[in-house]
């Protein structure tokens, strides 16, 4: 089967390319190709966990994403954040989220609290 660990970025890219090709052929589980795909995917997951950490989103971007995902408008956020001018100030990063806002956003929209308490980046 000749499968080697992923040590470099070049190894990683080559493995991704091979996974893509295998996925195109859609091998059945338990076949040599299916087993190879399973093993390569596991290697990629291990490499990514170590070398490609996923950073949490910016709090404002998380709110905007949830708004887009749920089809919410600024008006829909008023019961959670406050009057529309306050919502716009939050979304434009002119005003920080308060603890009460974070709690209500977490409870109402299901945005993880640890994402909401993170530092807001300039956007």
Per-residue pLDDT reduced to its tens digit, 27-43: 898 999 999 999 999 99
CB under 8 Å to 43, separation ≥6 — which residues? Answer: 3, 5, 6, 15
User: Looking at residue 94, what is its pLDDT?
Assistant: 95
Whether 122 has a pLDDT exceeding 70, the answer reads no
Q: How confident is the model at residue 1 (pLDDT cuts 50, 70, 90)?
A: low
* Residue 44 clears pLDDT 90, i.e. is over it: yes
Q: How far is C-alpha 80 from the geometric centre of its chain's CA atoms?
A: 23
Any residues with CB less than 8 A from the CB of 61 and at least 6 apart, and which?
Answer: 123
3-state secondary structure the chain: CCCCCCCCHHHHHHHHHHHHHHHHHCCCCCCHHHHHHHHHHHHHHHHHHHHCCCCCCCHHHHHHHHHHHHCCCHHHHHHHHCCHHHHHHHHCCCCCCCHHHHHHHHHHHCCCHHHHCCCCCCC
* Contact present, 103 and 92 (Cβ < 8 Å): no
Residue 55: per-residue pLDDT = 82
């Amino acid at each position: 089967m000749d499968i080697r660990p992923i040590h470099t970025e070049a190894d990683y890219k080559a493995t991704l390319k091979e996974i893509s090709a295998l996925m195109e052929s859609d091998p059945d589980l338990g076949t040599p190709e299916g087993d190879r795909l399973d093993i390569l995917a596991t290697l990629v997951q291990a490499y990514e966990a170590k070398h490609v950490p996923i950073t949490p989103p910016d709090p404002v971007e998380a709110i905007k994403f949830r708004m887009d995902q749920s089809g919410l408008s600024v008006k829909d956020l008023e019961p959670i954040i406050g009057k529309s001018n306050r919502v716009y100030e939050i979304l434009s990063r002119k005003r920080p989220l308060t603890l009460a806002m974070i709690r209500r956003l977490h409870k109402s929209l299901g945005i993880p609290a640890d994402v909401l308490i993170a530092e807001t980046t300039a956007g």
